[in-house]
């Protein structure tokens, strides 16, 4: 018996909700039946460009691109990142699982309602030849019909860079609280 199912049985409603969030997240990320819509991007938008990698990008330029992706693009809530600064083989990891670049983009865009979610940059984006790092404070609304759960989340993201190309090869998200604590803070907005 999976730990999620066992947790749902033993934990009552709390276990059921936690299990449901984990399942919804997994379904969205692996690209199964989407809980939202397909990621839609207009042709030519910067975050969907698979070609034209910015190899050799300076620390200052990558810092600005990441800052813009967080502040203006809200990429943590919708998956719309500047793909040109990421290696196509980049690995994305959060407190739940590990994903490829394409699966992270698709999963994030399907899992969250970008219009009702928000992310704020806390402090400045740091960048050097080894990594780019920033702290965030966000409220994420899940694309789960009728219930529309949302939860606050704080933490930091570390983007490791390839020594030769300067591109991001690893995305690692660290949450300030464990998964269970984050999910306990969920609020629901019921609508049909």
Q: Distance (Å, rounded) from C-alpha 77 to C-alpha 70?
A: 9
Residues, the chain: 192
**Dihedral sign for Cα atoms in the order 55, 105, 182, 10:** negative
Residue 100 is part of which domain span?
A: 3-184
CA distances for 63 relative to 51, 89, 160, angstroms: 20, 21, 13
In a domain, 61, yes or no: yes
Confidence of residue 8 (pLDDT cuts 50, 70, 90): very low
Q: Which residues face 151 on adjacent strands?
A: 140
Domain count, the chain: 1
In a domain, 133, yes or no: yes
pTM comes to 0.75
Report pLDDT for 168: 99
Report pLDDT for 181: 95
In a domain, 190, yes or no: no
Report pLDDT for 105: 98
In a domain, 79, yes or no: yes
Confidence of residue 35 (pLDDT cuts 50, 70, 90): very low
Mean pLDDT of 14-33: 44
CB 70 within 8 A of CB 125: yes
In a domain, 64, yes or no: yes
Report pLDDT for 51: 66
Confidence of residue 47 (pLDDT cuts 50, 70, 90): very low
pLDDT digits (tens, 9 = 90+) for 111-141: 999 999 999 999 999 999 999 999 999 999 9
- H/E element, 115: none
Mean pLDDT of 73-87: 98
Q: State the CATH number of the domain containing residue 178.
A: 3.10.450.50
In a domain, 192, yes or no: no
Q: Distance (Å, rounded) from C-alpha 184 to C-alpha 172?
A: 23
Q: Distance (Å, rounded) from C-alpha 159 to C-alpha 146?
A: 35
Rama region for 127: left / alpha / beta (φ>0; ψ in -120 to 50; rest) = beta
| Strands (E) located in 117-192 | 118-127, 131-141, 150-161, 168-175
In a domain, 191, yes or no: no
Residue 11 has pLDDT above 50, yes or no: no
In a domain, 167, yes or no: yes
**Cβ contacts of residue 170 below 8 Å, gap of 6+?**
90, 91, 92, 93, 159, 160
């Amino acid at each position: 018996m999976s730990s999620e199912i066992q947790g749902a049985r033993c934990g009552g409603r709390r276990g059921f909700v936690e299990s449901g969030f984990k399942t919804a997240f997994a379904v969205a990320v692996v690209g199964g039946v989407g809980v939202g819509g397909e990621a839609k991007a207009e042709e030519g938008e910067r975050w969907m460009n698979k070609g034209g990698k910015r190899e050799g990008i300076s620390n200052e330029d990558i810092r600005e691109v990441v800052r813009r992706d967080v502040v203006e693009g809200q990429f943590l809530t919708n998956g719309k990142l500047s793909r040109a600064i990421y290696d196509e083989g980049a690995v994305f990891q959060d407190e739940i699982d590990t994903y490829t670049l394409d699966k992270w983009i698709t999963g994030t865009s399907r899992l969250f309602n970008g219009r009702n979610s928000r992310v704020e940059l806390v402090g400045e984006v740091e960048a050097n030849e080894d990594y780019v790092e920033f702290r965030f404070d966000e409220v994420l609304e899940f694309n789960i019909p009728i219930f529309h759960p949302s939860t606050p989340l704080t933490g930091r993201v570390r983007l490791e860079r390839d020594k030769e190309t300067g591109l991001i090869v690893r995305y690692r998200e660290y949450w300030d609280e464990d998964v269970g604590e984050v999910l306990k803070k969920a609020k629901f907005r019921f609508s049909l």
